[in-house]
Structure 1
Amino acid sequence: MGPRNALAASNEESTLKLTPEICITGDENQACEIRIELQWRLAKNELVCILSDNNAYPKWCSESPEQHEITMNVSTLSDIHFVLVSKETNQTLAGAKLKITSTSQPQVRRRYRNPWSLF
């Protein structure tokens, strides 16, 4: 019948919510240690897995379609990107990012001019 069916499949999007989204450390060389909560809402109830781009946090998969959140302790020096995928099809459903910010500014950013001068 045409492209209408593709649009009718689902107008509700799956979402992945991360709380909190930002972790502030005192020093850029200091690991951020934080307890985070990942909550997801799905277009259709299904088993999901959560992957991250940090090897310290391997793939986690839900055992029940009724589960919609997990809590984990994280210790990291860099941002972590979490991706929610369908356990059945491995299709990406949603993503969320934990941003790490340090209160100390690196020295390099303060140097606006070259330290040498020809004149």
Structure 2
Amino acid sequence: MTLSQLSWLALIGLSLSLVSPHLAQANSRDAVLKLTPEICITSLDNQACDIDIELHWTLAKNELVCILSDNIAYPKWCSDSVLTNTLQMKIHTSTDIEFIMVSKDSNQTLASAKLKITSAAQPQVRRRYRNPWSLF
């Protein structure tokens, strides 16, 4: 390689190292989606959970958002105002639900949160009365 080719490569590498943090910062929108509460505890396995939840989000720039879920019982919801940053819902489910916040304009995923359903009932385990190393 000649000296001019090396200097061009060094210049390109330097420009990429200077520009790439700004590109990464421009691509990440610093969006946060918070779910309250995050866990619903049921008394029995396969029992449905009835709970009121609140989704609260913050964005780096004001934009309209939509909230999607992986449960068909809860359809897509979209905000009508950039001042709206909270959604309250009544949930009835026996499985975990993931909520995804997307940009209303570009449909780009901004953030997500998951509601976890757990059972408080302990599974019954049969106890052995003799030691596993006993020969009798």
Higher helix share: 2
TM-score range, shorter chain: 0.7 to 0.9
Q: Which runs of 5+ in 1 are unaligned?
A: 113-119
Gap runs ≥5 in structure 2: 1-14, 128-136
Structure 1 residue matching 2:81: 3-state secondary structure: coil
Residue 96 of structure 1: aligned partner: 113
Query: Percent identity, aligned pairs only?
Result: 59
Give the alignment's TM-score, normalised by structure 1. 0.83
Residues 38-87 of structure 1: per-residue CA shift (max 9 Å, x gap): 00001111000000000000100000011000100000000000000000
Greater shift, 31-40 or 20-29, is seen at 20-29
Once superposed, which parts of structure 1, at least 4 consecutive aligned residues long, lie more than 4 Å away? none
Q: What is the aligned residue count?
A: 112
**Is 1:48–2:65 an aligned residue pair?**
yes
**1:77 alignment counterpart:** 94
Structure-to-structure mapping, 1:1-119, within 5 angstroms: 2-9=19-26, 13-107=30-124, 110=125
Task: Report which of the two has the higher share of strand.
Answer: 1
Structure 2-normalised TM-score? 0.74
| Alpha-carbon distance in structure 1 between the residues aligned to 2:29 and 2:71 | 29
Report the structure number with the largest CA radius of gyration.
2
Considering Cα pairs closer than 8 Å and 6+ residues apart, tell me whether 1 or 2 has the greater RCO: 1
Rounded to whole Å, the distance in 2 between the matches of 1:8 and 1:76 is 37
Offset of residue 7 of structure 1: 3.5
Check conservation: 1:10, 1:43, Cα contact below 8 A.
no
